[in-house]
């Protein structure tokens, strides 16, 4: 008690002293150290659950076409501020959000939550959250990207062109472990995974993927999943479109054919080739600095920074062009290159103050190179002026740097 | 008594050996009852094999469309209101929401775009009405499905939908759907030859 009191007294005196110095500005000439900064005051940010500095202002924004929440109180698509991103982990508070056809975020008591595995299995099984946590788990970094992450000419920032992708560290039980525990029967070729929210959003996945690297995750970025990310349980399907990463995971049914759920219905393609592009995400990268909406202060040295990721595995190489794709130089990987994870790259650049176009392209472990829109259009025999990207859009993003240092969307 | 115990031991031994390749490693979790599975299993296959017994017509559906509050959000005509378009209009009425996931507008209206009528039944059954999901009886879901299909000129007004007829409806976009050209494989590109 005494010790505590004296500590407090010391701190109070110290603070008074600091204030005195600042207010009075009576500084001896030889004391050239900077004045102490004022203290952060909110007890919450100091003790219980830390907040960021009030000077850090990066926020998510809803997709402009539809307000979130809408008139029904539903949230739809909310974009991650990639222009402010550093490293490869997206803070949970800034992780992009998309819901199955606009759903309410359910308020689930984890002690009541169950996961049921049934259908073409030898032993249907039901797990409580506690039971799932008794099982062997793994920790992995994976991105999640929405299939709607499509850059448009009207987009003004990288948040709008690419903000429907985020990356987190996930902890959970491998789905293959749970399926083996239930005993997969011969002829089970697909699974249907389903959530517990009011629309019970579901998705069909090939059994090969379900037995490969999927994760039944209960934690992200060092804490339980956030409600917007599926608390208490989410199926992570590494490298597949976001709609497959079923939140509030409650049920997995093993079936003998493709079951078309309402959410699968969004992926209807007449062309089997286009349908093949609707599961796994291709190699994709984007420069986050400098990117549209940002301002360069003048000619000189800049470090180009960006993110690369692929549903096909790890990123092997990233190249950067500062002349609209005429010449490419290798960028450096500035983070570990995990499989199906955001990978940070950087490249030195000396800007001469002239108008130019910045681009990046990546190559994944399968050797697949991120294409341009023109290359994709050629594959489909589209008219050259109107290339159309089927499936998820992983094409090269140009940023136009103007001579005044402003940066614009090169698609405009 | 002894012989019964022996019999049990032999049976258990036999079971262990039979299941050795497929036996659970951890033994964590419990076996759900058949009733628990039935209560949660709301998936409807395109073959319709999980469809419950029941029936309904467009006329019954028209009444339910008002009675159950569908019209309140989707509009009396089934288009041009706040919630997704259900009935294709003449094109002059635009939904106030430009696009939903999946896009439910114009030709993407579910009754026209879905390759299987089972998807409509499934979705009405699991997701509607908003705030009262799961309260519709099978007969009501058959009737509402019939109503929307009739209003979109897919079936006749007097056609009775039940667990046998529903999966056999030839949807306008039945041929507009294909499975992926190449089966997904670990470590393979999405589509060979694709840039």
ipTM: 0.85
Res. B18: pLDDT tops 80: no
Check CB contact of A62 with chain B, cutoff 8 Å: no
Res. A17: pLDDT tops 50: no
**CB contacts, 8 Å: A183 with chain B:** 22, 24
- pTM for the model stands at 0.88
Residue A56, classed as helix, strand or coil, is coil
**B1 or B57, higher pLDDT:** B57
| Residue B105: per-residue pLDDT | 61
- 3-state SS track over chain B: CHHHHHHHHHHHHHHHHHCCCCCCCCCCCECCCHHHHHHHCCCCCCCCCCCCCCEECHHHHHHHHHHCCHHHHHCCCCCCCCCCCCCCCCCCCCCCCCCCCCCCCHHHCHHHHCCCHHHHHHHHHHHCCCCCCCCCCHHHHHHHHHHHHHHCCCCCCCCCEECCCHHHCCCCCHHHCCCCCCCCCCCCCCCCCCC
Q: How near does any CA of chain A get to the CA of B2, in Å?
A: 31
| Residue A2: per-residue pLDDT | 42
Check CB contact of B32 with chain A, cutoff 8 Å: yes
Res. B13: pLDDT tops 90: no
| Residue B2: per-residue pLDDT | 46
Check CB contact of A122 with chain B, cutoff 8 Å: yes
**B73 or B37, higher pLDDT:** B37
Res. A177: pLDDT tops 70: yes
**CB contacts, 8 Å: B44 with chain A:** 259
Residue ranges of B 11-30 with Cβ closer than 8 A to chain A: 19, 22, 24-26, 28-30
Domain boundaries, chain B: 55-175
- List Cα–Cα distances, A180 to A177, A184, B128, in angstroms: 5, 6, 35
Pairing of strands A249-255, A114-119: parallel
Res. B14: pLDDT tops 60: no
**pLDDT-based confidence at A24, cuts 50/70/90?**
very low
- Judged by average pLDDT, the poorest of A116-125, A296-305, B96-105 is B96-105
Across the interface, of B28, B42, B181, the residue whose CB is closest to A135 is: B28
Q: How many CB pairs under 8 A join A and B?
A: 188
Across the interface, of B24, B118, B126, the residue whose CB is closest to A199 is: B126
Res. A65: pLDDT tops 70: no
| Residue B135: per-residue pLDDT | 95
Query: DSSP code of A94?
Result: G
Res. A33: pLDDT tops 90: no
Contact B98 A66 (CB under 8 A): yes
How far apart (Å, rounded) are the C-alpha atoms in residues A199 and A350?
52
Q: How near does any CA of chain A get to the CA of B136, in Å?
A: 14
Look at the domain A284-409 and name its fold: Immunoglobulin-like (2.60.40)
For residue A362, what is the enclosing H or E element? strand A356-364
**A142 or A41, higher pLDDT:** A142
**pLDDT-based confidence at A217, cuts 50/70/90?**
very high
Res. B19: pLDDT tops 50: no
| CATH architecture, range B55-175 | Orthogonal Bundle (1.10)
Across the interface, of B44, B97, B185, the residue whose CB is closest to A66 is: B97
Contact A72 B83 (CB under 8 A): yes
- Judged by average pLDDT, the poorest of A24-28, A324-328, B131-135, B191-195 is A24-28
Task: Identify the CATH class of A114-268.
Answer: alpha beta
Domain boundaries, chain A: 114-268, 284-409
Here the tokens at position A244 are 């497959």
pLDDT tens-digit readout, A224-271: 999 999 999 999 999 999 999 999 999 999 999 999 888 887 778 889
Average pLDDT of the residues in A67-90: 87
Are A344 and A87 contacting, i.e. CB atoms less than 8 angstroms apart?
A: yes
Here the tokens at position A95 are 């992780």
**CB contacts, 8 Å: A63 with chain B:** none
* Stated length of chain A: 412
**CB contacts, 8 Å: A378 with chain B:** 195
How far apart (Å, rounded) are the C-alpha atoms in residues A171 and A225?
9
Check CB contact of A387 with chain B, cutoff 8 Å: no
What rounded mean pLDDT belongs to chain A? Answer: 90
Query: DSSP code of A271?
Result: S
**pLDDT-based confidence at A50, cuts 50/70/90?**
confident
**pLDDT-based confidence at B5, cuts 50/70/90?**
low
Res. B151: pLDDT tops 70: yes
Average pLDDT of the residues in A14-25: 42
Res. B21: pLDDT tops 90: no
Are B132 and B121 contacting, i.e. CB atoms less than 8 angstroms apart?
A: no
Query: DSSP code of A141?
Result: E
- Judged by average pLDDT, the poorest of A180-189, A245-254, A322-331, B184-193 is B184-193
Res. A30: pLDDT tops 80: no
Contact B126 A200 (CB under 8 A): yes
Across the interface, of A194, A198, A275, the residue whose CB is closest to B180 is: A275
Contact B42 A260 (CB under 8 A): no
**B99 or B171, higher pLDDT:** B171
Which of A126, A254, A363 should be substituted to probe chain B, the one whose Cβ sees the most B Cβ atoms within 10 Å?
A126
Q: How near does any CA of chain B get to the CA of A371, in Å?
A: 6
Check CB contact of A69 with chain B, cutoff 8 Å: no
Q: How near does any CA of chain B get to the CA of A153, in Å?
A: 18
**Nearest residue on chain B to A100, judged by CA atoms?**
B101
| Residue B79: per-residue pLDDT | 86
């Amino acid at each position: 008690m005494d010790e505590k009191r004296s500590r407090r007294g010391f701190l109070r005196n110290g603070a008074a002293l600091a204030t005195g110095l600042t207010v009075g500005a009576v500084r001896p000439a030889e004391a050239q150290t900077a004045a102490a900064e004022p203290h952060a005051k909110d007890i919450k940010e100091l003790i219980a659950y830390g907040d960021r500095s009030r000077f850090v202002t990066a926020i998510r924004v809803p997709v402009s076409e539809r307000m979130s929440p809408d008139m029904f109180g539903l949230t739809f698509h909310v974009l991650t501020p990639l222009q402010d991103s550093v490293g490869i982990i997206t803070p949970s508070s800034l992780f992009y959000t998309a819901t199955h056809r606009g759903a309410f975020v359910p308020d689930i008591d984890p002690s009541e939550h169950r996961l049921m595995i049934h259908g073409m299995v030898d032993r249907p099984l039901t797990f409580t959250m506690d039971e799932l946590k008794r099982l062997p788990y793994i920790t992995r970094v994976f991105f999640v990207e929405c299939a709607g992450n499509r850059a448009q000419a009207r987009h003004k920032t990288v948040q709008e062109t690419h903000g429907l992708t985020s990356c987190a560290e996930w902890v959970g039980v491998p789905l293959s472990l749970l399926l083996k525990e239930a005993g997969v029967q011969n002829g089970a070729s697909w699974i249907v995974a389903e959530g517990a929210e009011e629309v019970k959003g579901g998705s069909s996945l090939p059994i090969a993927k379900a037995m490969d690297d999927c994760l039944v995750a209960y934690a992200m970025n060092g804490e339980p999943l956030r409600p917007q990310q599926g608390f208490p349980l989410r199926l992570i399907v590494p490298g597949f479109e976001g709609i497959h990463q079923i939140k509030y995971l409650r049920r997995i049914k093993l079936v003998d054919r493709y079951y078309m759920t309402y959410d699968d219905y969004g992926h209807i393609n007449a062309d089997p080739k286009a349908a093949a592009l609707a599961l796994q995400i291709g190699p994709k990268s984007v420069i986050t600095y400098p990117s549209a909406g940002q301002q360069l202060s003048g000619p000189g040295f800049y470090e180009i920074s960006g993110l690369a990721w692929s549903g096909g595995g790890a990123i092997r190489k990233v190249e950067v062009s500062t002349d609209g794709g005429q010449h490419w130089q290798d960028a450096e990987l500035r983070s570990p290159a995990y499989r199906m994870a955001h990978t940070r790259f950087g490249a030195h650049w000396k800007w001469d103050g002239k108008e130019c176009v910045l681009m990046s392209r990546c190559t994944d472990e399968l050797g697949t190179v991120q294409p341009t829109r023109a290359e994709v259009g050629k594959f489909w025999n589209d008219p050259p002026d109107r290339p159309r990207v089927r499936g998820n859009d992983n094409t090269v993003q140009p940023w136009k740097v103007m001579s005044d240092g402003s940066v614009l969307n090169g698609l405009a | 008594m002894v012989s019964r115990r022996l019999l049990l031991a032999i049976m258990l031994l036999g079971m262990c050996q039979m299941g050795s390749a497929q036996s659970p490693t951890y033994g964590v979790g419990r076996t759900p009852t058949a009733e628990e599975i039935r209560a949660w299993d709301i998936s409807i296959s395109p073959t319709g094999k999980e469809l419950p017994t029941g029936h309904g017509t467009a006329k019954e559906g028209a009444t339910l469309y008002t009675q159950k509050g569908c019209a309140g959000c989707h509009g009396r005509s089934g288009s041009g209101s706040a919630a997704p378009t259900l009935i294709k209009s003449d094109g002059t009425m635009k939904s106030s929401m430009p696009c939903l996931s999946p896009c439910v507008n114009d030709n993407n209206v579910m009754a026209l775009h879905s390759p299987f009528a089972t998807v409509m039944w499934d979705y009405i059954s699991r997701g509607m009405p908003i705030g009262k999901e799961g309260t519709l009886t099978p007969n009501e879901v058959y009737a509402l499905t019939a109503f929307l299909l009739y209003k979109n000129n897919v079936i006749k007004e007097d056609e009775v939908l039940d667990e046998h007829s529903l999966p056999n409806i030839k949807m306008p976009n039945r041929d507009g759907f294909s499975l992926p050209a190449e089966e997904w494989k670990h470590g393979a590109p999405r589509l060979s030859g694709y840039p």
